[in-house]
Amino acid sequence: MDSSRLRVRGAGGRGAGAGRGPALTRRGALLGMGGLAALGAAGCGGGNGRGSADGPVRTIEHKYGTAEISGTPERIVTVGLTEQDYVLALNVAPVGVREWFGEHPGALWPWAKEALGDADLPEVLPVDELDFEQIGALAPDLVLGVNSGLTQDEYDTLDGIAPTIAQHPDHPDFGVPWQEIARVVGTALDREDDAEALIADIEERFKDARDDHPEFAGATALLASSIDGAAWAYAEGPAPGFLTQLGMGMPEQAEALFTDEERAPKEVSLEELELLEADALLVGVYGDPEASITGMDVFKELDSAKEGRVLEMPEMSRLNGALSFGSVLSLHYALDVLPDALAALLDGDPDTEPDEAE
């Protein structure tokens, strides 16, 4: 992370040093990645944590300015898609969490529920439109929207309730790498060292996976999805990043699709499905599974399909959720199951099933 963007004031001035897509819906999970309700003073309650705690002030820059935080926030609301995992990984239970997809109690996938332990489930916030009255009633002392697409108006309203950290200024909306989300949340919670330890642990696991599977270095892999029978290919986001961190490359014909600076998801016509050819092809299946491209004759003509090098991931499967979240908690699950599954795909094992739908 650029140290000029993340600073801690005090203590002698020492430094602290989604795949995104067109819709915030369950079907947009592997694509990456509201209205404004005014709140009166009574709606804000006593939750505004400014100046309520002692200690050095930590100043975090974001898309719309800076957030100044002192002490250790305890009532945290997450309005991004995945920050709950980072908060829980740092041993804090959020009081409010924005639903993304999965429809799990408390909007927590299994890895997050395990980290929650016996603490109370957080209140679930809707994904489509922020409910500012609901957020104000939770009396937060910190609002996290690092992995989000907050508008200026939404940020201004949230910042009137409690110190709010919007998306990172140096990355697209919903496009902040997991390492930087961890560092921002770690600084916000005054747990920078713990956040760095989480990052180091996962990066060591990626290294171990690469060492265990040297065949990944010369192999190609591609993330695609079937959304109601339409095919999409992806170059950026948590799941493509996972494949890259394992040392796998994108096929040249797929790479040629991504000519824009943001390398946004690209729809691939059924007549051009050969563009999805890869040594290992992962396909997230959204909408009606009966309409999936993987069941179409044209897809079955791909060498990837004929040779058993395709892994389907149902929308609500744990692996799809883990790759979509790409968090310091979910990555451990993905690293438990996917490297060996990818190795089997490279060998053309058509019976590779690393994960069960929930």
Q: What confidence tens digit (pLDDT) does each residue in 295-322 have?
A: 999 999 999 999 999 999 999 999 999 9
Smallest CA-to-CA distance from 143 within 111, 189, 193, 198 is with 189
pLDDT grade, residue 55 (50/70/90)?
confident
pLDDT grade, residue 351 (50/70/90)?
low
Q: Which residue has the tokens 């883990």?
A: 322
Helices (DSSP H) in 138-285: which residue ranges? 152-159, 178-188, 192-212, 238-245, 252-255
**Which domains are delineated in the chain?**
6-201 (3.40.50.1980), 213-346 (3.40.50.1980)
Give the pTM.
0.84
Q: Which residue has the tokens 């957030």?
A: 67
pLDDT grade, residue 22 (50/70/90)?
very low
Q: What confidence tens digit (pLDDT) does each residue in 231-242 have?
A: 999 999 999 999
- CA terminus-to-terminus distance, the chain: 36
Q: Which residue has the tokens 């919007």?
A: 166
Q: Which residue has the tokens 């920078």?
A: 192
Of the candidate ranges 27-31, 42-46, 249-253, the one whose mean pLDDT is the lowest: 42-46
Q: For residue 8, what pLDDT is reported?
A: 30
